[in-house]
Amino acid sequence: MTEVFLSSFNTNNFSKGAGIIKQTLWYFANALFVRASWNPFMGIKIFFLKLFGAKIGKGLVIKNNVNIKFPWKLTLGNHVWLGENAWIDNLDEVIIGNNVCISQGALLLTGNHDYTLSTFNYRNAPIIIE
């Protein structure tokens, strides 16, 4: 059995792809407009996703409480549906093709910790859904 030492864990082994200012601004824009349950207007959500670097095709349907960690690492094709409470935890690229529905409550994780190493290293890889 491997003993894990969380004190030696280092979060610098993956690139967030944006500076601290952009990440902070996204945190607030996401909380106030994109994943906010009060906001049923998809146009506003799409505007902020694109503003922060998401590549979005036509016909996106994005329901309430969708959480996207880093829009600058997200590509959505045409006629994609993101259901309520879907969570895209994209420390790496997530590419969702045309005519794909991510159902409510779905969780897309681009990585995980290697529990077999005492350093608990993080390993990630892109997700592509066609």
CATH code of 71's domain: 2.160.10
Domain that holds residue 82: 17-129
Which pLDDT score, from 0 to 100, does residue 40 have? 86
Which pLDDT score, from 0 to 100, does residue 121 have? 81
Per the domain annotation, does 9 fall within a domain?
no
What's the half-sphere exposure (Cβ side, CA atoms, 13 Å) at 81? 9
Per the domain annotation, does 51 fall within a domain?
yes
Per the domain annotation, does 3 fall within a domain?
no
Number of domains in the chain: 1
Per the domain annotation, does 5 fall within a domain?
no
Determine the residue type at 118. S
> How much is the pTM?
0.87
Residues of the chain whose pLDDT is less than 50? none
Which pLDDT score, from 0 to 100, does residue 87 have? 97
Reference 118, options 4, 6, 1; nearest CA is 4
Residue-wise pLDDT tens digits, 13-41: 555 778 899 999 999 999 999 999 898 89
Determine the residue type at 91. L
Per the domain annotation, does 120 fall within a domain?
yes
Per the domain annotation, does 7 fall within a domain?
no
102 burial class (0-12, 13-18, 19+ CB within 10 angstroms)?
Answer: buried
